[in-house]
Amino acid sequence: FYAHAGGQRGDHGVLASDGSAAEVVDTTSPLPGLHVHHVRVPHGTFERGMVVSAEVDAERRAATMRNHTATHLLHAALRETLGLHVKQAGSLVAPDRLRFDFSHYAAVTPHELRHIENRVNAVVLRDSRVGKRVMGREEALAYGALAFFGDKYGERVRVVEVPGFSKEFCGGTHVDGTGEIGLFLLTSE
């Protein structure tokens, strides 16, 4: 299960064993390497040593992945349209929506918003492959990957890339091709 991190919500799903079931309603990681599954147990009990099957809610995960990759496309379109000074200042990636916080010196005009939305949808329609690769932090920076949260990263980082458009450090879940995103719609600034 993917744990809540970097703005991306944690996975939901089911843990089951011998007639017992637990609904996973969130997944967090309070310490590196420790994943905590927050559960509701509608029936049965769980004991040490039980063999448990774990099933991630695939539809919820896929929706979250679409929104996460769309967040990267939005970031690139904002920088392309408004200027390279635009930097991510936070985000929310959920199955039903995304929110992208960024720094800029003025309100974004309706014309700029339409252009940004159209630019993201053009990349979605290209159905570009979304590359994901792990490399050294310095190698990733030399490769041109964007990183905005400084010391949060270790020596090995994961780079998510939409060739010719977006290249960022990111440990979250993403689609394999931009066409999986579907329609991108800006609803507010």
Per-residue pLDDT, averaged over 50-63, amounts to: 96
Residue 149 is predicted with a pLDDT of: 60
Indicate the pLDDT class of residue 32, thresholds 50, 70 and 90: confident
Per-residue pLDDT, averaged over 80-89, amounts to: 94
From 120, 65, 77, select the one nearest 102 (Cα to Cα).
Answer: 77
Q: Report the mean per-residue pLDDT for the chain.
A: 93
Contact yes or no for 128/177 (Cβ under 8 A): yes
Q: pTM for this structure? A: 0.91
